[in-house]
Amino acid sequence: MLNTQNKFGFNRYLKWLLIIPCWLMVIEKSFAQGIEFDQPNKVVALEEMPNPKTALLLSFVVPGLGHQYVDNENWSRGKIHLGSEIALMAGYFGLNARANRLEGNLSILARSKAGVSLANRNREFELAVANFDNLAEYNDFQLRTRRWQNILPDTPENRWNWESDNDRFEFRDTRDRIANSENQLPTLLTLMVANRLLSGINAFTRARNLSNSIPVVSVNYINEFGERGVTANFQFNF
């Protein structure tokens, strides 16, 4: 039977035998995975973890950039957001350029085939030019339908006269295509905002989860009873 002195010596040896391998394992994993060590009254980060707020802001600037910041090697979700942003921006600027080009064609067609300038004219005037052969026909229709408030003064800048119905039909078709392109622009802008929000939220969540998954290890040289010794605390966030 072991005496008391040998028993306490054995227990002390067993304690160190259990603590040292665990401590060495923690150190190894710390350097491999970037675990943070909490020394007395001090926390030292072995590897800088991504900041969730930074990931969020980067995604708002360029969707997908926050994912690349969080994990440079595995940001497939970010690439989807980035590709969507490129496609949406290409669609937006493409439609805007198309509408501007058609606007130029519309002005040339009205000036060359109807003898009227569309410079600084509103939508209602363009509709009148698109739907009636000339000013007299337009005003006559307003009189017959008792829409006197829509009658246009018979002045040189308000007069037009289409050379043929085909020219007027081409004008109306061009104007419809302009309106169709312009009506899609707000939708694309909304999708770009939504893409940024989704990308930012996902990147923020990934960065936060990655930070929370890193265990914190603290080592004290005075145990909880005030005695000299070694106490190791492990904290894992799930």
Per-domain residue ranges of the chain: 1-49+214-238
pTM of the model: 0.64
Query: For residue 111, what pLDDT is reported?
Result: 95
**Lateral strand order in the sheet of 228-235:** 42-45, 36-39, 216-222, 228-235
Token readout for 76 is 């497939």
Token readout for 141 is 């229709």
Average pLDDT along the chain: 79
What is the SS3 assignment for 9? helix
Contact 66, 77 (CB under 8 A): no
Quick one: 171 exposed, middle or buried, by C-beta within 10 A (0-12, 13-18, 19+)? buried
Q: What is the pLDDT of residues 21-56, one digit of tens each?
A: 344 444 444 444 444 444 444 443 435 688 999 999
Contact 56, 203 (CB under 8 A): yes
- Whole-angstrom distance, CA of residue 87 vs CA of residue 68: 19
b or e along 138-150 (b: 16 or more beta carbons within 10 Å of the residue's beta carbon)?
bbeebeeeeeeee
Work out the number of other CB atoms within 10 angstroms of the CB of residue 178. 19
Q: CA-based angle 7:12:13, to the nearest 5? A: 95
Averaged in consecutive runs of 10 residues, what is the pLDDT profile of the chain (238 residues)? 43 42 42 42 54 92 93 90 95 95 95 94 94 96 93 95 95 95 94 94 91 58 54 49
What are the beta bridge partners of residue 218? 38, 233
Contact 107, 119 (CB under 8 A): yes
Query: For residue 16, what pLDDT is reported?
Result: 44
Query: For residue 60, what pLDDT is reported?
Result: 92
Spatial neighbors of 159 by CB under 8 A, at least 6 apart, are: 115, 116, 134, 135
